[in-house]
């Protein structure tokens, strides 16, 4: 302890001096934007060709971009957007790109306000002039729309609005936002608007009004998953910038790529594996990242992502999950939605939770399946119809540990549930 006091860096000295693995770990983060995007040239070229009319002050077609998580959709759209702004500056035309993450900005009011506020450039205003900065709440939506329209007219030129995770906006707030944005050009004289929607849910268009869909999907671009060799190229490109020379064993990058390719060709997953592998090696003062570090990283990432996923679930979803845990403790490795509903209702009664309908419970079960917490399958029972069966993919003990962190589900009365009575109800 006394040594630390005499050293100005104290406890952290060893972490700053032992740089034997990383040169720049930020290169392996999702937020890093590389200058070159390997294996996405066809999609980038197609995107550029659709947006090119903006350089001659014409309205580009609206675009829907589909693809699973980690297939380069956002990075490609941002790259093309930056190139478009640079080219427009050289061409003497006015093009502006606004990128919104609809997982965060998920209501019509907030979307319209955010776009308008991005347009309202502080530098263009004299210091004594009035600025109509839209608050994030408080105005009527019609007033926000009118202010956005005025801002667009005052700025002129072409605006390209990138709506990332557009499916989250539609599921949360319906398609009114898209209806207004896809028709705003009819209210404009001096400005033009183009929409790029990015989604990893191919079915979200089922929620759209046909008129909105036809306007929004004038052009569609699909980003296929990366295969293992393509992921190797991506990781190799980043590794050269992220790690010092000879810090990686030869098998590390192919292993990270192979593991990520099994998970739908997700480049983010591959980058996370490589980064966490390096961090684990760094913490144990190893000089080289090896296969064992990749295996350790895979286990750590899976555990961490599951814990984060479950801990952020609403209480009703946790109650459904807790019902499944009780069924497994009763010796049922595979259980049906009907059995989950019976146990869930007992839990809801004990902790004074509003009881959901069977239909809503099956919706929550589907969401848990989509999140990867459980596995489900639909089986036919002949003349008795079909039912949904489910089972845990991960260790139930870890799931229980996370679920019971919710104060409402850490109730001693739940430990006293009469499982024999419940078993009798299933006969």
> What are the binding residues for ATP?
71-75, 226, 238
Sheet holding 386-392, edge to edge: 335-336, 386-392, 374-380
- Identify the burial level of 164 via C-beta atoms within 10 angstroms of its C-beta, where 0-12 means exposed, 13-18 middle and 19 or more buried: buried
List residues forming the annotated binding site: 71-75, 226, 238
């Amino acid at each position: 302890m006394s040594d630390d006091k005499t050293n100005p860096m104290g406890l952290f000295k060893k972490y700053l001096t032992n740089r034997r693995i990383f040169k720049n770990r930020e290169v392996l983060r999702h937020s890093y934007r590389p200058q070159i995007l390997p294996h996405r040239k066809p999609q980038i070229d197609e995107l550029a060709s659709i947006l090119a009319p903006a350089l001659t002050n014409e309205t580009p077609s609206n675009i829907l971009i589909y693809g699973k998580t980690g297939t380069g959709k956002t990075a490609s759209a941002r790259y093309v957007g930056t190139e478009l702004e640079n080219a427009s500056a050289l061409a003497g035309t006015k093009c502006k790109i606004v990128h919104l993450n609809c997982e965060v900005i998920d209501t019509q009011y907030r979307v319209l306000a955010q776009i308008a506020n991005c347009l309202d450039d502080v530098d263009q205003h004299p210091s004594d002039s009035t600025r109509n900065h839209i608050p994030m709440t408080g105005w009527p939506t019609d007033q926000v729309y009118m202010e956005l329209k005025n801002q667009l007219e005052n700025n002129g030129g072409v605006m390209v609005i990138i709506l990332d995770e557009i499916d989250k906006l539609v599921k949360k707030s319906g398609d009114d936002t898209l209806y207004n944005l896809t028709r705003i050009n009819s209210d404009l004289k001096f400005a033009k608007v183009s929409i790029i929607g990015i989604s990893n849910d191919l079915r979200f268009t089922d929620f759209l009004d046909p008129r909105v869909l036809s306007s929004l999907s004038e052009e569609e671009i699909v980003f296929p998953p990366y295969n293992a060799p393509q992921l190797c190229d991506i990781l190799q490109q980043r590794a050269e910038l992220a790690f010092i020379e000879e810090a990686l064993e030869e098998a590390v990058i192919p292993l990270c790529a192979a593991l990520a390719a099994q998970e739908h060709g997700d480049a983010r997953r591959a980058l996370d594996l490589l980064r966490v592998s390096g961090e684990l090696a760094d913490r144990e003062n190893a000089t080289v990242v090896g296969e064992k570090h990749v295996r350790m990283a895979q286990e750590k990432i899976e555990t961490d992502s599951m814990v984060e996923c479950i801990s952020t679930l609403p209480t009703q979803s946790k109650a459904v999950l807790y019902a499944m845990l009780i069924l497994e403790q009763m010796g049922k490795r595979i259980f049906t939605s009907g059995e989950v509903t019976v146990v869930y209702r007992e839990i809801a009664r004990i902790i004074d939770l509003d009881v959901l309908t069977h239909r809503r419970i099956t919706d929550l079960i589907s969401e848990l399946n989509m999140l990867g917490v459980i596995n489900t399958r639909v089986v036919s029972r002949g003349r008795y119809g079909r039912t949904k069966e489910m089972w845990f993919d991960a260790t139930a003990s870890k799931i229980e540990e996370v679920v019971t962190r919710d104060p409402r589900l850490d109730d001693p009365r739940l430990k006293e549930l009469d499982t024999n009575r419940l078993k009798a109800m299933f006969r």
